[in-house]
Amino acid sequence: MSRTPIIAGNWKMNNTIAQGKALVEALIPLVKDASGVDVVVCPTATALSAVSAVASGTNIHVGAQNVHWEKSGAFTGEISTDMLKEIGVEYVVLGHSERRDYFGETDEGVNKRAKAAYAAGITPIICCGESLDVRESGKYIDHVVNQVKLALDGFSADEVAKLVIAYEPIWAIGTGKTATFEQAEEVCKAIREAVAEKFNPAAADAVRIQYGGSVKPATIKDLMAQPNVDGALVGGAALKADDFAAIVKF
Ligand code: PGA
């Protein structure tokens, strides 16, 4: 089966509405001819609506950086799936290591958010990845596979087939240290095997697995040449239209 590559830009806490609109306006002509690849930008909550309006009718899709599992209610600071759907959001980044490390996001929370997003028709981009300590302990595959299994708990195989998983070694995020292609492939392959084992081979074959962590125009080609790497979740380089476009057009 051939999986459509997916390149997503995670803007994190960067870009005001004006800056976000300008970035997408600059990006539109640069990526308009990119075919056979899904292009996603994930602005902050305040810029989502404006960026979505600018991107509407183009090949750029919009993702949020989080979503809550309840439909509405007393959840200060959270955003619901209906709120995201209303403004054309199609993807949501969930369980990013920054959310896990700085804001207490748990595997259980990631799973609940993912289920709610999927049920609402928003594609979750579920992040997983190990710290440097875990990497050096040698137990990184177990760690990542366990995160993925917990995040996917309660999904059916058919549903898992439509999800996106982002493997992001924490030691490679924002550090300029990209994992080697072999390191990225090793873990992405292990994730796919774990999906085959927990669900079925068809789900494993279909689920898209991104690599994330200091992805740059210079590294994307070799990453994408790995059989189990189906795309990238891009942080820093997604803030520059030229760099992000070069990554999209790997
Ligand atoms: P980076 O961030 O590309 O700046 O390393 C990636 C991410 O955290 O998604």
Q: What pLDDT, on the 0 to 100 scale, is given for residue 175?
A: 82
- Measured in whole angstroms, how far is the alpha carbon of residue 115 from the centre of its chain? 15
Q: What is the pLDDT of residues 47-62, one digit of tens each?
A: 999 999 999 999 999 9
Mean pLDDT of the chain: 97
Reading phi first (left if > 0) and then psi (alpha if -120 to 50, else beta), residue 2 is in beta
Is pLDDT above 80 for 196? yes
Task: Determine if ligand 1 sits within 6 Å of the CB of residue 63.
Answer: no
**Substitution site in 233, 244, 247 for ligand 1 pocket (most atoms within 8 Å of beta carbon):** 233
- Work out the pLDDT band at 239, boundaries 50, 70, 90: very high
pLDDT tens, position by position, 75-128:
999 999 999 999 999 999 999 999 999 999 999 999 999 999 999 999 999 999
Q: How confident is the model at residue 174 (pLDDT cuts 50, 70, 90)?
A: confident
Please give the CATH superfamily to which domain 6-248 belongs.
Aldolase class I (3.20.20.70)
Share of the chain above pLDDT 70, in %: 100
- Chain-centroid distance of CA 151 in Å reads 14
Q: Residue 176: what pLDDT?
A: 77
207 lines ligand 1 (CB under 6 A): no
Ligand 1: centre distance to CA 239 (Å): 11
Active site (catalytic) residues: 96, 168
**Reported confidence tier of residue 212, pLDDT bands at 50, 70, 90:** very high
What average pLDDT score do residues 163-182 get?
90
* Beta carbon of 154 within 6 Å of any ligand 1 atom: no
Taking the C-alpha atoms of residue 15 and residue 143, their distance in angstroms, rounded to an integer, is 33
Per-residue model confidence as pLDDT tens digits over 140-162? 999 999 999 999 999 999 999 99
Q: Above 80 in pLDDT, residue 135? A: yes
Q: How far apart are CA 200 and CA 198, in angstroms?
A: 7
Confidence check: pLDDT of 177 > 90? no
Q: Which of 239, 231, 249 is nearest to 123 (CA)?
A: 231
Contacts of 165 by beta carbon, 8 Å cutoff, 6+ apart: 125, 126, 127, 128, 148, 151, 191, 207, 208, 209, 210
In this predicted structure, the answer to whether residue 1 has a pLDDT above a threshold of 70 is no
227-238 tens-digit pLDDT: 999 999 999 999
Tokens 């924002």 belong to which residue? 174
pTM value is 0.97
